[in-house]
């Protein structure tokens, strides 16, 4: 995983905390769908309701695509949270947009991919959040099966799990994120969102999220 730059990573993390798209509760952890206990909850869809933050994210996702994938020919969002971000990027770059479902539509054409399928087209995938990378990489694989050339993926935020790094490396997919967990924690301390003492617990969670607090 790479980031556009450190200052943008810090700014995006700060804004996501301010609008409560990211919440940190090491003393009252959340429970994820996987059953993991987590001190963090991230819902970047909230950024769409804040024009300033929405534009900050859009502009820097666009810069990420232009810098790392200049030969891009289309943008693909991962359903559902990657759809609005992908559409904003595609519109800004005047590129075709499509999106990838988590499973085929249950009626009609039963499409997995919605939009014009053009085999050989160079596409960049857009995600809002990367945890282990499983659903994101499945979308990339579905695009490959349809004949697209997947250049890479851009996302707003990543937890920075080692398993995600391994999964993306094994899939041969380059991942660019605007911000990540390592940029978030210093901003949370600076703004008094968390205490310095909470950093140890937050760091332990990232090392072993499946066993944290057990």
Annotated binding site for 5-phospho-alpha-D-ribose 1-diphosphate: 101, 105, 107, 127-135
22-24/40-42 β-pairing: antiparallel
Place of tokens 């994938």: 69
Known binding residues for orotate: 131
Question: Binding site membership: which residues?
Answer: 101, 105, 107, 127-135
**Beta sheet of 122-130, edge-to-edge order:** 2-3, 175-180, 149-158, 122-130, 74-78, 97-100, 113-114
Task: Please identify which residue in the block is written with the tokens 């072993």.
Answer: 208
100/29 Cα distance (integer angstroms):
31
Helix (H) / strand (E) element for 175: namely strand 175-180
């Amino acid at each position: 995983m790479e980031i556009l730059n450190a200052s943008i990573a810090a700014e995006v993390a700060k804004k996501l905390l301010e609008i409560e798209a990211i919440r940190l509760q090491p003393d009252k952890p959340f429970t994820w769908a996987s059953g993991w206990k987590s001190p963090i909850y991230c819902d970047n869809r909230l950024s769409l309701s804040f024009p300033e933050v929405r534009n900050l994210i859009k502009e820097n996702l666009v810069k990420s695509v232009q810098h790392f994938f200049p030969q891009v020919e289309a943008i693909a969002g991962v359903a559902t949270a990657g759809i609005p971000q992908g559409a904003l990027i595609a519109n800004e770059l005047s590129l075709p947009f499509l999106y990838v479902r988590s499973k085929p539509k249950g009626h009609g054409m039963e499409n997995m991919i919605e939009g014009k399928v053009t085999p050989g087209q160079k596409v960049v995938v857009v995600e809002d959040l990367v945890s282990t990378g499983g659903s994101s990489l499945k979308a990339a694989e579905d695009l490959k099966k349809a004949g697209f050339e997947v250049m890479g993926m851009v996302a707003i935020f990543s937890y920075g799990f080692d398993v995600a790094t391994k999964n993306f490396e094994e899939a041969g997919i380059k991942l660019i994120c605007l911000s990540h967990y390592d940029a978030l924690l210093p901003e949370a301390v600076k703004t008094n969102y968390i205490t310095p003492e909470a950093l140890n617990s937050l760091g332990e969670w990232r090392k072993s999220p499946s066993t944290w607090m057990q």
